[in-house]
Structure 1
Amino acid sequence: MRPSLRPGLTARLDYTVPAERTVPHLLPEPSHFTALPAVLATGYLVGTVEWACMRVLDEYLDEGEQTLGVHVDLRHEAPTPPDGLLTVEAELTVVEGRHLTFTVHAFDDAATICPGVHRRAVIDAARFRARLDRRNGP
């Protein structure tokens, strides 16, 4: 991590919700999801929040570093229909060693969609892959 990584850094992500990111497409195997309304799925909302937080870090990680989400505390308060424009604002609020905490706010033109907190951990990508390979075995 670069020394310039500090609380107060922000990023904004504008995302037009495609139909394939709605609830019926989240897990097509169970009919529970496929029978629900076509609105942005919470699982995909989590992904857009993570994406916005990763954008905050674009210029602040060293070669070979990546981040992984380790905690999500979000409230999905309002639906976003297909073709709706979702905006996610992320602010890095805490840096504790390799653990990073973000405050997030997602909204569209009609409402707040999601306030919350997301935490990420900085990893050495090669070391992480080696650990994963050991878990997966030969």
Structure 2
Amino acid sequence: MRATLRAGLHGALAYRVPPERTVPHLLPESDDFREMPEVLATGYLVGIVEWTCMRALAEHLDAGEQTVGVHVDLSHEAPTPPGATVHVSATLTHLDGRRLCFAVEARDDAGVVCRGTHDRAVIDRKRFDRGLTGRASAAEARS
């Protein structure tokens, strides 16, 4: 992590919602989801929030470092239809070692869509991949 990674860091993202990011498309194998209204799915909204935080951090990580989401506490207060643009704002509120805590808010033209917090952890990608290989091998051995 670079010395520039500090509380107060801010990121923003504007995302135009395509039809394939609505609830019926979240898990196509689920009849329950397919029958839901065509509005931005909460699962995709979480991904957009994560993306905003990742973009805010990109210039502040050392080579070989990335971040992974470790906690999400978001409201989803209003529906956003396809074609609308969601504007996400994320501010790094504090760091706890390698854990990074963001305050986030998303809005569309009608008002607040979501607000809450999102935590990410800084990882060394090579070390992470080694751990993942070990977990995959253990899962294979159990099956």
**For residues 31 and 131 of structure 2, what CA distance do their matches in structure 1 show?**
36
User: Which amino acid counterpart does residue 118 of structure 2 have in structure 1?
Assistant: H
Instruction: State the match for 1:97 in structure 2.
Output: 97
- The number of equivalent residue pairs is 138
Q: Give me the TM-score of the superposition, normalised by structure 2.
A: 0.95
The Cα offsets for residues 39-60 of structure 1, whole Å up to 9 and x where unpaired, read as 0000000000000011110110
TM-score, scaled to structure 1? 0.98
Q: Structure 1 unaligned runs (5+)?
A: none
Q: Aligned ranges for residues 1-138 of structure 1 at < 5 Å? A: 1-137=1-137
In the TM superposition, residue 5 of structure 1 has moved relative to its aligned partner by 0.5
Q: List gaps (5 residues or longer) in structure 2.
A: none
Question: Residue 126 of structure 2 aligns to a residue in which SS?
Answer: helix
Q: Which runs of structure 1 show a deviation greater than 4 angstroms over 4 or more consecutive aligned residues?
A: none
By percentage of residues, which structure has more helix? Answer: 2
Q: Distance in 1 between matches of 2:27 and 2:87?
A: 24
Could you tell me how far apart the structure 2 residues matched to 1:134 and 1:85 are?
Answer: 41
Q: RMSD over aligned Cα, in angstroms?
A: 0.8
Partners of 1:96 and 1:3 lie apart in 2 by 14
- Identity %, equivalent residues: 60
